[in-house]
Amino acid sequence: MLALENPPTPKPLAVRERRESANSGRSLKLGKQFDQRTFSVFPMPKLARKLKDDVAAIAIREGRVVGSPGHAKARRYLLGRMQELGVEPFRGNSFELPYTWGGDEFVNLAGAIPGASPSAKPVLIGAHYDSVIPAPCADDNAAAVAIALAAAEMLAKQKLPRDVVIAIFDAEEPWHFQEPSMGSIRFYHDQLRERGAHAALIMDLVGHDVLVPAEMLRSFPWLRWPAKLLPRIGDDLAVPGVRDLLFMTGAESHPGLADVVDSVRVPRRLRPIATLNRYVGDMSDHGVFRTNGVPCLFFSCGRWRHYHAESDTPDKLNYAKMARIARYLAAVAKALAATDLEPHDGASVDTAEFEIRRIRKACGPAFGLVMKWLRIEKLETRADISALAGKLLGMGL
Ligand SMILES: [Zn+2]
């Protein structure tokens, strides 16, 4: 059909020339494929069970609204887990990084996995732990916090060239969202300070299957019977392939990010799709990093009907998918830790080709069918990707 029908096979990273970093003279260590199977000492079923236990402990019925007893209870649990994981306090001798704003008290949590070069900027993995309402809010954001802990545990067993910091932010939800009291904003400006970050990997809403509302299939009578065979979560259907999607925005924030992402092997039955951050905006804690020029990737399974609702409960999450995300995230963090990203002014780079390649890969043999279903004629240009993003967002994702 077009150039991208048969994309030029990129040279395997193993045989790519080692490039010299302009500023430091150190070579870029893009020498090998970063394989999530490095972490196979943590078998998937065991990882999934651990994630489930963590979500159960964090997603308590009373919720984690800032300043509430549930918020303090969840934080106590997280402190205990961070002590167990083999990570060190990010600053001083406590994982707790308290701050006050407008007379209110907040607490970020941060731990560091030491790498070989303590003076190098760390790779940051971040997610918020507060909840929007006094309810479990399992997908928002207990799931991401559990995944961050699992990634920390896996990375603590690795030899890393630079530190990896696990930051569990307070106060992401309204009334703090994008306000000076927001946990990630205070972390970046007051707690991370001059150390800065090599890159930031931020997660929100990463515990659920990407679901298809049952009513969306009504206009396809020939699908009525096959649809009866699909697993149901409330009024939604878990369609094979679609349920495994993971959205990733922000690769455009640095010219080296797409290569790093491409160097990581994706776990089976996980389908990461890369799109521009501007399609969805700074919907979570990545905003402060992105706007301050930190190379940044944001991971999410998108919104769903339980978003900010009392029905966002632990029983609706897919812990096997979360285990795949945890392994993938750990591998991306490890690949980033081993890569020198050259200084960049923060301007967006063109990632259209990368996005198209990732979308095709995520859809696999169903690519044609998906495009047909979404009534997208072709996927060749930025305008085509924008049309696709518009359709997906129109579905409420
Ligand atoms: Zn939220």
Nearest one of 343, 328, 390, 346 to 36, comparing CA atoms: 328
Percent of the chain scoring above 70 in pLDDT? 88
What are the structure tokens assigned to 261, written together? 């992402």
Q: Each residue of 332-385: pLDDT tens digit? A: 999 999 999 988 988 899 999 999 999 999 988 888 888 887 888 899 999 999
Ligand 1: centre distance to CA 173 (Å): 5
Ligand 1: centre distance to CA 369 (Å): 32
Percent of the chain scoring above 90 in pLDDT? 68
> pLDDT band for position 10 (50/70/90)?
very low
> pLDDT band for position 233 (50/70/90)?
confident
Ligand 1: centre distance to CA 131 (Å): 7
Task: Compute the distance between CA of residue 128 and CA of residue 346 in angstroms, rounded to an integer.
Answer: 24
pLDDT (average), residues 153-172: 95
Ligand 1: centre distance to CA 308 (Å): 6
Of 3-17, 149-163, 350-364, minimum mean pLDDT range: 3-17
According to the model, what pLDDT value does residue 36 have?
63
Ligand 1: centre distance to CA 327 (Å): 23
Ligand 1: centre distance to CA 328 (Å): 23
Ligand 1: centre distance to CA 189 (Å): 22
Answer yes or no: pTM beyond 0.95: no
pLDDT (average), residues 245-251: 94
According to the model, what pLDDT value does residue 307 have?
94
According to the model, what pLDDT value does residue 4 have?
32
According to the model, what pLDDT value does residue 375 have?
85
Ligand 1: centre distance to CA 248 (Å): 17
pLDDT (average), residues 297-314: 95
Ligand 1: centre distance to CA 286 (Å): 13
DSSP state of 67: T
pLDDT of 89 strictly over 90: yes
Q: How many residues does the chain have?
A: 397
Ligand 1: centre distance to CA 129 (Å): 10
Ligand 1: centre distance to CA 306 (Å): 11
Task: Compute the distance between CA of residue 219 and CA of residue 378 in angstroms, rounded to an integer.
Answer: 23
What values do phi and psi take at 333, rounded to 5? Answer: -65, -40
Ligand 1: centre distance to CA 365 (Å): 34
Q: Which residues surround ligand 1, an ion (CB under 5 A)?
A: 132, 140
Which span out of 38-47, 50-59, 86-95 was modeled with the highest average pLDDT? Answer: 50-59
According to the model, what pLDDT value does residue 194 have?
86
Ligand 1: centre distance to CA 128 (Å): 9
Ligand 1: centre distance to CA 59 (Å): 13
Ligand 1: centre distance to CA 73 (Å): 19
Strands (E), the chain: 34-35, 88-89, 96-101, 104-113, 123-128, 164-169, 199-203, 212-213, 232-233, 236-237, 245-249, 264-265, 271-275, 296-300
pLDDT (average), residues 257-284: 92
Higher pLDDT, 21 or 390: 390
Ligand 1: centre distance to CA 283 (Å): 9
Q: Which CATH architecture has domain 33-357?
A: 3-Layer(aba) Sandwich (3.40)
Ligand 1: centre distance to CA 51 (Å): 19
pLDDT of 17 strictly over 50: no
According to the model, what pLDDT value does residue 219 have?
66
What values do phi and psi take at 111, rounded to 5? Answer: -130, 155
According to the model, what pLDDT value does residue 31 have?
41
